[in-house]
Amino acid sequence: MILDVIRKEIKEIRKTRRLLVIGILFVVATIACAVVSAQWLDKGPNEMINGGLYGLILMFVSLLALMLAYDTIVGERNRGSLALVFSKPIGRGQFFLGKFLGVFLLTTVLFIVVSSFGYWLNAAIFGEFPSGAEVAAAYKFFFAVLLVILCWISFAMFFSTCFKSAAVSLITTLILWIMVLPMISQIPLHIYAEQQGQIHIPFELGEISFPIWVKALYAVNPDTCIGELSGHLLGSLPFSSSILTTGQSIGAMVIFAVVFFVAAFWLFRRMSLE
Amino acid sequence: MKAIEIQGLTKKFGKLTAVDNLDLEIEEGDSFGFLGPNGAGKTTTIKMLIGLLRPTRGTVRIWGHDMFAEGKEVKKSFGFVPDFYSFYESLTAFENLEFFAALSGIPKGERGKRILELLEVFSLEERANSKVGDFSHGMKQRLVIAQALLPHPNLLILDEPTLGLDPRGQFEIRELIKSISQEGVTTFISSHLLVEVEDMCNKVGIINSGRLIRVNSIENLKSEIEAPTGIEVRIECEEVTPEIIAVVKEVEGVRDSGVEGKTIWARVESSDITPTLTTCIVTSGGRIRKVEEHSPSLEEVFLKLTEREGGQG
Ligand SMILES: Nc1ncnc2c1ncn2[C@@H]1O[C@H](COP(=O)(O)OP(=O)(O)OP(=O)(O)O)[C@@H](O)[C@H]1O
Ligand SMILES: [Mg+2]
């Protein structure tokens, strides 16, 4: 049954305009990034995906995950299909998991295909193909991005389960993603650095050792964690130094994904359709 | 065997008691009309009945199984038609049915055949591959009933199945439901339309302001109302003479009578009295043109019952 739910979810999402719009933007941005990096910035594929420009492209992936997941539950609730589903002998957990996996698979496939295309396009234009080790590092990084996708889907599905209005779910999700989580992540860091007499973040970060609570808050935002990970997996850029280790970054993302998934799952199993 | 047993079912939304201590039993094979005005608590009751909404108090058993303890088992044995239509608009009719067939636990190999069978019964086979979003309201309603029938349920629960349909659509849906119950499927149909319940059901329960105020067969319900109000007999004669008026007044069982032009009317306890009335008129020299009996319609029964018991609209 879970496969049927996944299949239905993918079929349904494929027909939404959201997927088309964000997907096209993502493809165009990836191609532009590949071309610009190779032609004008003189960056090969691994340097490209470790750079700031590519960081912006990853925002599309996060956005895609959020936009596909924010109404997974509340949308079905409002359209009434959830009532029909709950009248059937399928476990709620199965249904939830099926929807989760449907969104995840779709986002993942799109991400891997488009990113691989951008990666190799850049290599072709750059005129120098990456070594086996570089390719391995790049795909390790892509794999890590899947964790970010998991985080944002759990996150958005949590709010989708909490609220009775799709608009509220969307706005909450987006505001937390764009503003609140980055603030939680960055502000303590800046305050602490300033207290220590370090004003020019991030250039001199390496000189400070941060206390655990600053690191913990810093790690709250999955987008931050993936930035840290890119440095670890693809080689640090000369001017940036890391605050979190590889293990800490991955751990933080796993915790984030699990917490929101479990909370959403729990709420969904207890949902009463009033 | 009892198809449905509801005991002490209560649902409160804050201060409002939407369903108040409801007890109800539906026998196998019954065709039960759950009748009530808007806001009476029909949908709320049905939601609890099929496990969508947790009751504040009370129990629900379907085919002897507790809804909340054995939900998964119970849900295999009934079909549900919600009060507002609820498909995936961007998917086709076939895709929608395929999905709900899967959720109903129909094995993969049997789904296609069953779906085509139902689409044909509901005259939707030509639109099997059209998006449901493009369907008319009537088509969607037929599709949602088809959906409920997928697993060959022996109980069908429908919440206002003809709501928003034109007279032709209403007729079609009613005929469909009647044919389904004739095949032995127990049906539970909520409605605020009496004609509908009269047409489709053998038993009726009237709910008002969350309280079940009557459960009875339709005939009994009508006679229950006839007893206090009585029925009206209207007899049109060629000429109404004072003798006739006097003689009618004297007939046993006549509570009230009067004349309107060439028609003499009498309010009587039951229609058994009508023959006596006509005989008396004829023996007093009257010549009868037409006899009409006017018993209260279910409409009146309903309005009467829901009039003052709770006082809400
Ligand atoms: N989720 C809810 N929160 C608060 N009150 C509710 C909720 N759902 C229903 N009610 C109230 O409970 C009462 C019964 O509503 P219900 O929908 O069961 O009536 P109904 O008989 O189905 O009416 P209709 O014929 O309009 O469908 C109404 O007064 C309604 O306002
Ligand atoms: Mg209703």
What are the boundaries of each domain within chain B? 2-216, 230-298
φ/ψ of B59, rounded to 5, equals: -130, 155
Distance of alpha carbon A222 from alpha carbon A219, whole angstroms = 7
Answer yes or no: is the C-beta of B192 below 6 A from any ligand 1 atom: yes
CATH code 3.40.50.300 for B2-216: yes
pLDDT of residue B156: 96
Residue-wise pLDDT tens digits, B194-211? 778 888 999 999 999 899
- In the reported structure, the alpha carbon of residue B23 is separated from the centroid of ligand 1 by a whole-number distance in angstroms of 19
Q: Is the CB of B82 under 6 A from ligand 1?
A: no
Which of A1, A80, A88 lies nearest to residue B86, judging by beta carbons? A80
Predicted pLDDT at A208: 67
Residues B211 and B310: their CA atoms lie apart, in Å, by 9
Q: How far away, in angstroms, is B38 Cα from ligand 2 center?
A: 7
pLDDT of residue A217: 93
Cβ contact B214:B221 at 8 Å = yes
Please say if the pLDDT value at position B309 is more than 70: no
**How is domain B230-298 classified at the CATH fold level?**
Alpha-Beta Plaits (3.30.70)
A239 SS3 class: coil
Ranking A199-203, A215-219, B141-145, B168-172 by mean pLDDT, the lowest is: A199-203
Is the pLDDT at B249 greater than 60, yes or no?
yes
Q: What is the mean pLDDT of chain A?
A: 90
Q: At B224, is the secondary structure helix, strand, or coil?
A: helix
Contact assignment for A8 to B95 by CB distance below 8 Å: yes
Q: Are A119 and A29 in contact (CB under 8 A)?
A: no
Instruction: Find out whether the beta carbon of B44 lies less than 6 Å from any atom of ligand 1.
Output: yes
Q: Which atom of ligand 1 is nearest to the CA of B210?
A: 14
Question: Which range has highest mean pLDDT (A68-77, B215-224, B237-246)?
Answer: A68-77
When pLDDT is cut at 50, 70 and 90, the band that residue A210 belongs to is: confident
CA separation for the pair A14, A263 (Å, rounded): 27
Nearest-Cα distance to chain A for B275, in Å, is 54
pTM of the model: 0.86
**Stretch A105-115: mean pLDDT:** 96
Instruction: Give residues with Cβ within 8 angstroms of B7, minimum separation 6.
Output: B23, B58, B59, B60
